[in-house]
A and B are shown apart, each in its own frame.
Chain A
Amino acid sequence: AQSVTQLDSQVPVFEEAPVELRCNYSSSVSVYLFWYVQYPNQGLQLLLKYLSGSTLVKGINGFEAEFNKSQTSFHLRKPSVHISDTAEYFCAVTPYSSASKIIFGSGTRLSIRP
């Protein structure tokens, strides 16, 4: 079985400051990793995903994440945030075996202060 831990339920940062949202996972099998974002009153949309290859993955809106297999982490980073980045961010993992086994973390609410 897989599990996903997002350690921070809320992260407040000032506009133009850097941010890191943490995601750790546990799995006995190989997994694919995803970050999704949910803007207020909307469904989720994909920010980025790691399937294979380079462990540094670049996504939309200037976000990037690094897959660290030894630490079982997939932290999301942005060097300079904007007010428009205010949203809830979800980390998710899927084992290679089935798309139906996807597990989402509990989410991190990012709030940007002007």
Chain B
Amino acid sequence: AQTVTQSQPEMSVQEAETVTLSCTYDTSESDYYLFWYKQPPSRQMILVIRQEAYKQQNATENRFSVNFQKAAKSFSLKISDSQLGDAAMYFCAYRRNQGAQKLVFGQGTRLTINP
């Protein structure tokens, strides 16, 4: 079974600084997707960024980028120029590319932005 591990329950960063959230996963599949979701206090689940496993290039979305290390099964999220609105719970998630579309989530990392 696939598992996703986020080893940092909480992180904090100064506004305008850069922070990296860690995620590791375990799977025997070769074709899959990885995601980072943001959950602000409103509880809404917001997709931040996705990475297709067969793509070597790391995904980027504005201030958000990932470091995808397929061999190491590592998928970290870097937030540049942190803003107060980035404060939230962040979840790393995995999904196979075939069959059932289940998302397997990590435990979450609560990110605090210090002004």
Indicate whether A and B interact: no
| Interface residue ranges, A against B (CB under 8 Å) | none
Residues of B participating in the A interface, judged by any CB pair closer than 8 Å: none
